[in-house]
Structure 1
Amino acid sequence: MAAEQTELTLATIADATPATVADVLGAPVTRVEALSGGASSATYAVDAVRGDGTLWPLILQCAATGSVAEGGLPRADQARLQQIAFAAGLPVAEVVRVLAPADGLGEGFVMARLPGEALASRWLKLPDYAPARAALTGQCAAVLAKLHQLPMAAAAGLALPAGSTVELLDRMFANYRRFGVESPVFDLAFAWLRERVTDRPASHIVHGDFRSGNFLVTPAGLTAVLDWELAHLGDSHEDLGWLCCNSWRFGVWQNPVGGFGQRDELYAAYEAAGGGPVDRDRAALWEVWGTLKWGMACLQLGDDHVSGRLRSVERAAIGRRVSEVELDLMHMLKFGSV
């Protein structure tokens, strides 16, 4: 990053107050509370008041830096995709309002606030969520099967990133080189993938970040799938592999499906729900790919902080997790899985 770039902070990106959000909604707002919304978003719980005087629980989510990086999915298109998924019966929050430039809050939108716990470290371990953990593998499989059955034409007009598998791998490698970092483990992982990847055109709408940490969960199970900003056109097996990456097990490593289930159960439930046959070797390849992709995200977030583009202790801490990814990759390349 150029040294002369202006330093940004989340506070300067989205100055969300009851008054500013009320202007956006055209309704009274009694509370706006900043939440932990992930590294790419500034997220707020909003309590608004409907015309009949009842509580209107909402979520305001803005791009953390005010705008989406070049090549990313614009937040307005993310909102439209969420509405498509909502209309198709997927567990997604209904979008209420897409932000306009005049709103002064950057790219983003307002959606319904749904019940559930988002912190995977809680619902993966607390006794009250044992029934949810027992149900989640089948529920996640059914959601992915329904998502992957949507025709790609449903996303016509949206700026969903797309590319064949080889094109996507080339882009990820070019991004890696951009950081000027030399990691022998990452180099080996890229070489391993190049030897095994079969070039396939994009064939499905893919969530791109379907994992523990992006679910709302009650003791009864899954209530919503969050964070659609990495959605794109690609290979359906990508979502299956990403869900099984070790980073998304939050320490419950013996349950490879998000810390709560087993791969064979996930694949069987996905096929039974109409998601199509699962190629086990292809899903395993995407698990390696996903682990490496998370490593690229760690590099990016660390670079955001170190370069001064967006000073954030959270981003700096995630940047240090590159070493964890390297350990996972070495184990996978030697033993086949984590």
Structure 2
Amino acid sequence: MSETFEDALAERLSTVLGAACVFTGVERLTGGASRETWSLTTKSDPALPPELILRRDPPGREDPGRMSMEAAAFVEAGRVGVPVPEIVDNSGGEPLPGIGSYLVMSRLPGEALPQRLLRDERFGSVRARLPYDLGRTLGRLHRMDPVAVPGLPDHDPLEFLLGEYTRTGGPLPALEAAFSWLRDNRPPATRKSVVHGDFRNGNILVDEDGIRGVLDWELAHLGDPMEDLGWLCTKTWRFGSPHPVGGFGSRDDLFRGYADESGVSPDPDVVHWWEVFGSLRWAVICRMQAMRADDGGDNTLELLAIGRRVAECERDLLDLLGVPASATGDVVRAGDDPADDLFGTRRIGELLRAVQDFVVDASAGADPRSVYRSRVAAHVLGIAARESEVGYALREEFRTRLGELGYRTESELALGLRAGDITLEETPVGCVVRDLVDTRLRVANPRY
């Protein structure tokens, strides 16, 4: 945070709160590919919370309307009993000079990092009851009055997602198949309510006593409340755990908590539809984030890394659609002639892995944000190393296999699926698509 920005924010808060605001600590927090998040510590004053959280749009990418909507959502959520931070100030409908588009809120206790929530012993006693409590929280959330949150988007979710998909890149077979399945199996809407839009492990603050806060309302909109339940159950948000509700526990407990609070018993088939939608939606969001990397900024590397996570969603969607594993086994293998030393030794994969190790070692003892960014950099270097080792040969192999199906490229095959000329139920097609996805995933994230 620049001195100019810090001074402007301190002056603004002093005016809003009627007490002199002096920051004694300012720290950029890790995570948050779309917005900056800062921890602010202030001098003790009865009118001023000692710890604050600042969320702001990156300079040059301000969206004050959405920021204002998010601030109103926090206030209305608190009214219906959803645990949320208190909004201290926000920029309103226009970016403020020297500060931009932002909101400032109180800092709540608790942990949001999924890996800690799922693995640390201190959360062991609370994990088992979280699915039920999350269901009750959603039951309260869906009682929010939409009129109290001006500016909530209201659109057909599937058509909107299709528009974002076509805007952010070429067609992919697994995603085309998912759109087709969602269209063919779409259930009637249960009702319309405020939908949080990003209610998941990672946006929930938890301590040993339970849920302490629901964060990040920037994607709130009007829609079917079952969308929030399906998103919470999407595999991406389980972080390696086998349990479907955020990695914590069962759908039955989630549904029971929701019914006890709202009087509405979720239909498992409807929630499943939204779970498929959630995996497809996350794939499209990953493509959107990768496109944003072209705008520059200090999180470019993270955005590029997120773009490669589309492969995870493709794998999840094929599993959800019941496409069987390929019989060809492990497709990824060394792709180059080891005797080919045109560019000398060591080879590019070995060079990249050496840089990867260096980046991790060089960040030891650094501040948390630098450590986080070094891990992202090491992850990207690992992707590049794996692709360099197998990329050429596998491109040639898949070009041949696609040709045997009558297509020159994967995009052409995807368009064939869109047109209904072929389906994934046809064994040769399903095998090629499964192998394409598995190969991408083993390069992008072999531990997924």
Q: Give the TM-score, by structure 1 length.
A: 0.87
Distance in 2 (CA, whole Å) between partners of 1:317 and 1:15 is 31
Counterpart of 2:157 (choices 144, 160, 168) is 168
Deviations 1:109-153 (A, max 9, x none): 100001111111111101111112122112211110001123433
Counterpart of 1:278 (choices 266, 276, 285) is 266
| Amino acid in structure 1 at the alignment position of 2:153 | P
Distance in 1 (CA, whole Å) between partners of 2:323 and 2:140 is 32
Distance in 1 (CA, whole Å) between partners of 2:180 and 2:277 is 11
Q: Count how many residue pairs are aligned between Structure 1 and Structure 2.
A: 315
Say whether the 8 Å CA contact 1:145–1:270 is kept in structure 2.
yes
Counterpart of 1:223 (choices 199, 203, 212) is 212
Distance in 2 (CA, whole Å) between partners of 1:78 and 1:54 is 22
Q: Secondary structure at the match of 2:139?
A: helix
| Amino acid in structure 2 at the alignment position of 1:135 | R
Measure how far apart 1:247 and its partner are.
Answer: 0.6
Structure with the largest fraction of helix? 2
Measure how far apart 1:17 and its partner are.
Answer: 5.3
Say whether the 8 Å CA contact 1:115–1:218 is kept in structure 2.
yes
Structure 1 alignment gaps of length 5 or more? 1-10
Distance in 2 (CA, whole Å) between partners of 1:243 and 1:141 is 10
Counterpart of 2:99 (choices 78, 101, 105) is 105
| Amino acid in structure 1 at the alignment position of 2:232 | L
Distance in 1 (CA, whole Å) between partners of 2:217 and 2:107 is 15
| Structure 1 residue aligned with 2:75 | 83
Measure how far apart 1:264 and its partner are.
Answer: 1.0
Deviations 1:167-206 (A, max 9, x none): 2211111111112322100000001101111454961101
| Structure 2 residue aligned with 1:322 | 310
| Structure 1 residue aligned with 2:181 | 192
Structure 2 alignment gaps of length 5 or more? 15-20, 325-448
Say whether the 8 Å CA contact 1:58–1:110 is kept in structure 2.
yes
| Structure 2 residue aligned with 1:299 | 287
Measure how far apart 1:222 and its partner are.
Answer: 1.2
Deviations 1:212-236 (A, max 9, x none): 0001111222110110000000001
Counterpart of 2:127 (choices 106, 110, 133) is 133
Counterpart of 1:234 (choices 223, 228, 251) is 223
Which of the two has higher C-alpha Rg? 2
Counterpart of 1:92 (choices 77, 80, 84) is 84
Structure with the largest fraction of strand? 1
Go from structure 1 to structure 2 and tell me whether the alpha carbon gap of 1:68 and 1:190 turns closer, same or farther (over 3 Å shift): farther
Alignment of 1:263-274 (within 5 A): 263-274=251-262
Measure how far apart 1:104 and its partner are.
Answer: 2.2
| Structure 2 residue aligned with 1:51 | 45
Aligned-pair identity (%): 38
Go from structure 1 to structure 2 and tell me whether the alpha carbon gap of 1:143 and 1:275 turns closer, same or farther (over 3 Å shift): farther
Distance in 1 (CA, whole Å) between partners of 2:43 and 2:263 is 41
Distance in 1 (CA, whole Å) between partners of 2:167 and 2:272 is 27
Q: Secondary structure at the match of 1:102?
A: coil
Q: Secondary structure at the match of 2:40?
A: strand
| Amino acid in structure 2 at the alignment position of 1:79 | A
Deviations 1:250-274 (A, max 9, x none): 111x100000010111111110112
Counterpart of 1:261 (choices 238, 249, 252) is 249
Deviations 1:8-59 (A, max 9, x none): xxx7xx8785423312211111111100241111000001124349861100
Counterpart of 2:108 (choices 110, 114, 117) is 114
| Structure 1 residue aligned with 2:141 | 147
Which aligned segments of 4 or more residues in structure 1 are displaced greater than 6 angstroms? none
| Amino acid in structure 1 at the alignment position of 2:273 | L
Q: Secondary structure at the match of 1:32?
A: strand
Q: Secondary structure at the match of 2:256?
A: helix
Distance in 1 (CA, whole Å) between partners of 2:65 and 2:96 is 20
Go from structure 1 to structure 2 and tell me whether the alpha carbon gap of 1:54 and 1:191 turns closer, same or farther (over 3 Å shift): closer
Distance in 2 (CA, whole Å) between partners of 1:132 and 1:227 is 22
Question: Is 1:204–2:196 an aligned residue pair?
Answer: no
Measure how far apart 1:335 and its partner are.
Answer: 7.3
